[in-house]
Copies of this chain bind each other. A is one copy, B any other.
Amino acid sequence: MTIESEGLAALPPQPRRPGATSVDVARLAGVSRSTVSHVLNNQVTRFSEETVERVRQAAAQLGYVPSAAGRSLVLGRSDLVVLAVPNTTLTNVQDIIEAIASDLDDLGCSVVVHFDRGGAPGDNLTRLQHVVETLRPAGLVDLGSLSPDELDVLESQGCALLSPRSQHVRGVDEGNVAIARRQAVHLIDRGYTTLAFALLVDQRDDPFGRMRAAVVADVCAEYGLAAPSTISVPLEPAGAQTALCELLRTRGRPVGIACSNDEVALAVTFAALALRAAVPADVGVVGVGGGSVGQLVTPRLSTIGFDVRTSVASVRQAIAHRIGGAPEPAAAIPVDTFTVVQGETT
């Protein structure tokens, strides 16, 4: 008992250089290492109240943090979540990453980012496979960079899918539909009867963009309007003007344009002004994102406000469900997540 007493009388929480292990905690608490493991993993029902408390105090005193490597090795799975980010400029990627990382941090997971690169077609999949095999992550969140069969490949390697397009998390898909619908309905409400969809040029295989364009087309059909054109806009004034000029030539004025994000919306808006088209009289523009940039310029951008934190909540729930026994995720997203920000471009 003298040893334990000395230990308990020791320094403030951070004395050690090498991190304490469960062996140290066990010694200090005067129990076996398996007891430590059980207590710290909340297998607590079968231990005496006093033992539990002793172990917890010892762990706290030593500042014990379980080794991720040890855990991963024995569990066959790490507490990491891989986040596959497309090279598409979708709505404020940084905020999305931050929201997911923050959520998962609360669950004890860390986020490993994996960015798509331009390259040979299978290259991104190969790199991702390598990461998944070596890290054995608790889950993979795909922000839209993977095709369904690529997702299948990853899943068959034993990686839990948390992609928007998997059945586990469908929140993001619903979100995309809701956004595009709001855009289209807003334009129609503001009196535009000719609609178009503007996506970023050169974003090969952007599933979200295509999905949203399709939704706009659906809404047009519902309202008995002609099918919308789709234009590709570069983030550069001359190219944007060319694209818009072509649209105005074929579809006439006025035209209401739903854009895949706020940057594209800015490009379209200022291209219109440069072409001496009246905004919003001849050209209506609505973006997505509700970021600050669109509200700083003149004319202020009309856009669909977007609460990232609410939108990624389903991802959080899906991971929680997988890590601990959290309740099955609810699929629905609150309707008021997406709100129309009325600016001066519609």
Binding site for B on A (CB under 8 A): 17-19, 63, 65-73, 78-80, 85, 93-94, 97-98, 101-102, 105, 110-115, 117, 127, 130-131, 133-136, 156-158, 235-237, 240, 263, 266-267, 270, 273-274, 292-293, 295-298, 300
Contacts and interface: CB of A to CB of B under 8 A. Distances in A.
A158 B17 CA distance: 7
Contacts of A94: 93-94, 97
Nearest to A87: B98
A67 B134 contact: yes
A296 B235 contact: yes
B115 A69 contact: no
Contacts of A78: 68-69
Contact of A292 (B63, B114, B263): B263
A68 B135 contact: yes
Each complex incorporates copies of this chain amounting to: 2
Nearest to A83: B113
Given A68-B136, A69-B78, A293 B293 contact: yes
Contacts of A296: 235-237, 240, 263, 266-267, 270
A97 B113 contact: yes
Given A235-B296, A297-B266, A101 B72 contact: no
B134 A295 contact: no
A67 B136 contact: yes
30 contacts: A17-B156, A63-B133, A65-B133, A65-B134, A66-B134, A67-B73, A68-B72, A68-B134, A68-B135, A68-B136, A69-B70, A69-B71, A73-B73, A94-B94, A94-B97, A97-B115, A102-B117, A105-B114, A110-B135, A112-B113, A113-B113, A235-B295, A236-B292, A236-B296, A237-B295, A237-B296, A266-B297, A270-B298, A274-B298, A293-B293
